[in-house]
Amino acid sequence: MKQKKTSASQGFSSITSQDNFSKGKQINPHAAPIYTSSTYVYESAEKAQQVFEGKAEAYIYSRWSHPNAELVEEKLAKLETFGLEQKAKALVFSSGMSALSALFQSLLRPGDAILAQGNIYGTSVDYFNHYAAAFQIEVIYADFANLREVEETLKQKKNIRLLYTETPSNPTLNCYNVNVLAGLAHRYQAKLAVDNTFASPYLQQPFRFGADFVIHSATKYLNGHGTALSGFVVSRDRKFMEQEVWKIRKLTGTICSPFDAWLLNNGMKTLALRMEKHCSNTFSVAKFLQKHTAVSKVNYLGLKEHPDHTLAKKQMKNFGGVLSFDLKGGYKAGLKLMKKVRFCKLTASLGTIDTLIQHPASMSHHFVPKAQREKFGITDGLIRLSVGIEEVQDVMADLEQAIK
């Protein structure tokens, strides 16, 4: 998918590279420092009164907002709407899960229902299931590739207020049709939230296809170095973000810290460069694994054999830096591989400049019921690989020796 921009607009990497603070708050350093102050001083009692009454702009308290947070929020809002004649509001949180929680708390009420994709991040499933029990929210899991099933569920369950999807999905690397899902959601008075963590706004912009909310675990590709936790909620509904989502963040204290936001900003500066290398390396590793006799299946959207390859070409600029593959030996083979890797880092994360590997059945998805896991393709022998930007031959050599 080609990105379009007018001659007057800034390029994608220009947005990520420069630090431009909001006008009117008297902050304009060349490179963003870390603003560690918890509070801010006013030049007069009159100015303080105006600020608290909402008649003047100034920072109040770092639980409410701070310069480092607003800098990355403005960048991501521009990136998620890059080339579009739209504007968005982004809010940064202390983690991807706190972002997800804030969206749910601001949008859903007891008696509402969520229609969620079945093959998503294990902690999201854990949160959904806990949230349902604790707050009287019904959670329904479905195969979002089966659009007929999705629509039938929406017809039958009039209380569905939110559709939630990851695309590409974690860890099965499926691609889902955001445009059609958004249309179905809106037809039945629901909203669509898309977790865009795997793609990043460099590869995919869900707002282009009608999504209402975009979620990020910014810990992953946006930070890119595994140095700090952070997350985002983004929406084109500025009023809802400022009045509802921001209020939840303020009351629960889940804003990203100044230091973590500063690290996030530094990572975002090289997002485009990193994503290009991630994509090219991952494609090479996918082709290598396709030929391996111990591997029964490789899940990577860049492979023509992938059933979602054509959809991904329409929806994404490139195919991402994560793949998964099934070992013929199942659970034991997965554990054996985890014990033998040397170059790839054994950890349950992704999106960093070095290659990370994990076995979902024994790690990230071990608390997801086995029947639910397997129903949505998360098998005992599935391995997830987040390919870094190293020399790709070193990644393949490690996998070769470990799979033997």
CATH of the domain at 376: 3.90.1150.10
158 domain-assigned:
yes
2 domain-assigned:
no
Q: Calculate mean pLDDT across residues 216-235.
A: 98
Among 268, 299, 323, give the residue marking a domain's end: 268
262 and 243 co-located in one domain: yes
36 domain-assigned:
yes
Rg of the chain on CA atoms, in Å? 21
What span, in angstroms and rounded, lies between the C-alpha atoms of 19 and 28?
A: 9
206 domain-assigned:
yes
248 and 345 co-located in one domain: no
**Helices H / strands E in the chain, number of each:** 16, 12
Domain count across the chain: 2
Confidence class of residue 7 from pLDDT cuts 50, 70 and 90? very low
Mean pLDDT taken over the chain: 93
Amino acid found at 199: A
Comparing CA positions, the residue from 78, 149, 83 lying closest to residue 117 is 149
Q: Calculate mean pLDDT across residues 144-171.
A: 96
Q: Does the bond joining 171 to the residue before it have cis omega, within 30 degrees of 0? A: yes
Comparing CA positions, the residue from 396, 386, 360, 102 lying closest to residue 219 is 386
Backbone angles phi, psi at 128, to 5 degrees: -55, -50
113 and 79 co-located in one domain: yes
111 domain-assigned:
yes
Q: Which residues contact 262 (CB under 8 A, 6 or more apart)?
A: 32, 33, 34, 68
Length of the chain: 404
| H/E run at residue 398 | helix 392-403
Among 220, 251, 268, give the residue marking a domain's end: 268
6 has pLDDT over 60: no
Confidence class of residue 375 from pLDDT cuts 50, 70 and 90? confident
Helix (H, G, I), strand (E, B) or coil at 349: coil
199 and 229 co-located in one domain: yes
pLDDT given at position 345? 97
3 domain-assigned:
no
157 and 292 co-located in one domain: no
Domain housing 195? 12-268
Higher pLDDT, 157 or 133: 157
165 and 211 co-located in one domain: yes
Confidence class of residue 5 from pLDDT cuts 50, 70 and 90? very low
118 has pLDDT over 70: yes
Among 268, 301, 326, give the residue marking a domain's end: 268
301 domain-assigned:
yes
Q: Calculate mean pLDDT across residues 359-382.
A: 79
Higher pLDDT, 123 or 269: 269
Confidence class of residue 99 from pLDDT cuts 50, 70 and 90? very high
Confidence class of residue 25 from pLDDT cuts 50, 70 and 90? low
254 and 279 co-located in one domain: no
- List the CATH number of the domain containing 56: 3.40.640.10
Confidence class of residue 122 from pLDDT cuts 50, 70 and 90? confident
290 and 395 co-located in one domain: yes
180 has pLDDT over 80: yes
State percent of the chain over pLDDT 90. Answer: 82
258 and 275 co-located in one domain: no
What span, in angstroms and rounded, lies between the C-alpha atoms of 36 and 62?
A: 9
Amino acid found at 396: M
304 domain-assigned:
yes
33 and 76 co-located in one domain: yes
142 and 92 co-located in one domain: yes
300 and 230 co-located in one domain: no
Confidence class of residue 311 from pLDDT cuts 50, 70 and 90? very high
DSSP E strands: which ranges in 272-321? 295-299
Backbone angles phi, psi at 345, to 5 degrees: -85, 130
Kindly list the distances between the CA atom of residue 319 and the CA atoms of 28, 111, 115, in Å, as whole numbers in the listed order: 37, 38, 26
State percent of the chain over pLDDT 70. Answer: 96
Sign of CA dihedral 181, 184, 186, 191: negative
